[in-house]
Structure 1
Amino acid sequence: MCTNCGCSVTPQNVTIHSHNHHEKQHSHHDDRTINIHRSILAKNDHLAYHNRELFTEKKIYVFNILSSPGSGKTTFIEKTLTDLNSTYKSAVIVGDLATDNDAQRLRRSQAEVVQITTGDICHLEAEMINNSLKEINLDTCQLLIIENVGNLVCPSAYDLGENERIAILSVTEGEDKPLKYPTLFKSADVVIINKIDIAEAVEFNQDLALENITKIAPQAKIFLLSSRTGEGMNIWYNYLQQKL
């Protein structure tokens, strides 16, 4: 969690649309760090509860998507938003440590896009999401996708108020990823195995990957797809449409 990765003991600057700056100071003493960390999670859970209430009131379905960098997360989101552009009014909140490259790409889908630049913080928090909602027309939005910071550890601890949490695993990352990062996969409602178009080339053992996912996350719905070629995306769309 963040006490291990370092973001809780460094100055933290968060920017939404380059206007809002949040600075948080944390103690370097071990006995204080534990208490502060618990306080942060308690505050986050409280704000996530209110986010969820707002989403329910506005009838917005929210997916929080988590993965490691390079899993194809942005391509998956862009493909989803583009293909469903004529069906649903969508928005996306993008979290990155630096640059707005992903946000620029996602704007091509015609969805509303809000960029959160987190600086030293390696995850999104419920307060960041709440602040960014001011940039979205919630009265017309039906689907909100949150692209979390590329990280398999810290984001899994933070509820953002989402309806479902999606973990993306690409075939290039190895079949044992769920075993190495169980907290994320245990909290996932959906697990997507991405880039299956190159699975054979990288000698990906699909059966072993499915076995590991099922062992760690028996509750999760699993999709095998390629967001680059579109293979398997229709099955994902059917699932999404059922939810909406």
Structure 2
Amino acid sequence: MINEINTNTRLESNPTLNPTSIKVAKRILSLNDQKANELRAYYKAHNLYVINLMSSPGSGKTTFLESLSAYEDFRFCVLEGDLQTNRDAERLEQKGVSAYQITTGEACHLEAVMVEQGLAELGKRCDVGSYEYLIIENVGNLVCPASYDLGAALNVVFLSTPEGDDKVLKYPSMFLCADVVVVSKADLCEVFGFRIDRVREDLARLKKDVPLFVLNSRDSASVGAIKEFFVQCKNEGFYSAHIF
């Protein structure tokens, strides 16, 4: 102990030492962030407005995209993310939508490099540059996708009625990255006692002025309202300010 004190004293009094401290810090996800910036450049070069759809599994994202395919004035292609199977991409292809399935194996989210690789494969199936919108349907998960920047202009979070109306504050990271929230399967609100006002209030506490849409995919008006919002965001040059 005495030797340690003497050593510290000698070091502190040594005039040749530079006492300046250096802070070393690096974001763990910096490689993903770099790739996300490259994707932004790609999107811009191909005039693509990119929308990132996030939610729990089974929230109705693919069903919404199937309904969206009915609008001839909204031309979009899709990258699908799931751990296994091509089922969602196949569903969309049956609706005439150009889609490519990214299977992640065990990863519970999409990363920028996966999107880059998926775009290369999608480009073999269609002329990506001929579309106005690219929609990325992320892996169903209310946690991990909130940490990975995919370079999207608009981050959309679906919250389905059967999940319950308490998820906004339970999973704050996901809803903090949302530029818009969609309550899906709204025709079941009464069945599950789902309170849209509670979602609206919790959103206001967490992140003010986040648009909230209520979706019933059997109701074309609710689908159309979200479609028009996407078009408005593109026309106004909206770009998410969220930092993942």
TM-score category of the 2 structures, normalised to the smaller one: 0.7 to 0.9
Q: Which of the numbers 94, 116, 121 marks the counterpart of 1:108?
A: 94
Which deviates more from structure 2 when the two are superposed, residues 116-125 or residues 132-141?
132-141
Structure 1 unmatched runs, 5+: 1-36
Match of 2:43 in 1: 55
The answer on 1:176 being equivalent to 2:166 is: yes
- C-alpha contact 1:171 1:204 (8 A) present in aligned 2: yes
| Counterparts of residues 82-121 of structure 1 (less than 5 Å) | 82-84=69-71, 86-121=72-107
Which deviates more from structure 2 when the two are superposed, residues 172-181 or residues 205-214?
205-214
- C-alpha contact 2:156 2:181 (8 A) present in aligned 1: yes
Q: Which of the numbers 64, 68, 81 marks the counterpart of 2:56?
A: 68
- C-alpha contact 1:75 1:228 (8 A) present in aligned 2: no
CA RMSD of aligned residues (A): 1.5
Q: Kindly provide the CA deviation profile for residues 141-183 of structure 1, in whole angstroms up to 9, marking residues without a partner as x.
A: 2110000000011111000010011000011111110111000
Which protein has the bigger strand share? 1
Please give the secondary structure, in 2, of the residue aligned with 1:111. coil
Match of 1:197 in 2: 187
- C-alpha contact 1:92 1:113 (8 A) present in aligned 2: yes
Please give the secondary structure, in 1, of the residue aligned with 2:110. coil
Match of 1:151 in 2: 141
Larger radius of gyration: 2
Please give the secondary structure, in 1, of the residue aligned with 2:78. strand
Match of 2:196 in 1: 206
- Give the drift of 1:38: 4.5
Query: CA separation of 1:77/1:217 partners in 2, compared to 1, >3 Å: closer, same or farther?
Result: farther
2 CA distance for matches of 1:122 and 1:160?
Answer: 14
TM-score w.r.t. the length of structure 1 is: 0.80
| Counterparts of residues 201-240 of structure 1 (less than 5 Å) | 201-240=191-230
Match of 1:77 in 2: 65
Match of 2:11 in 1: none
2 CA distance for matches of 1:204 and 1:63?
Answer: 27
Identity %: 40
Corresponding pairs, count:
205
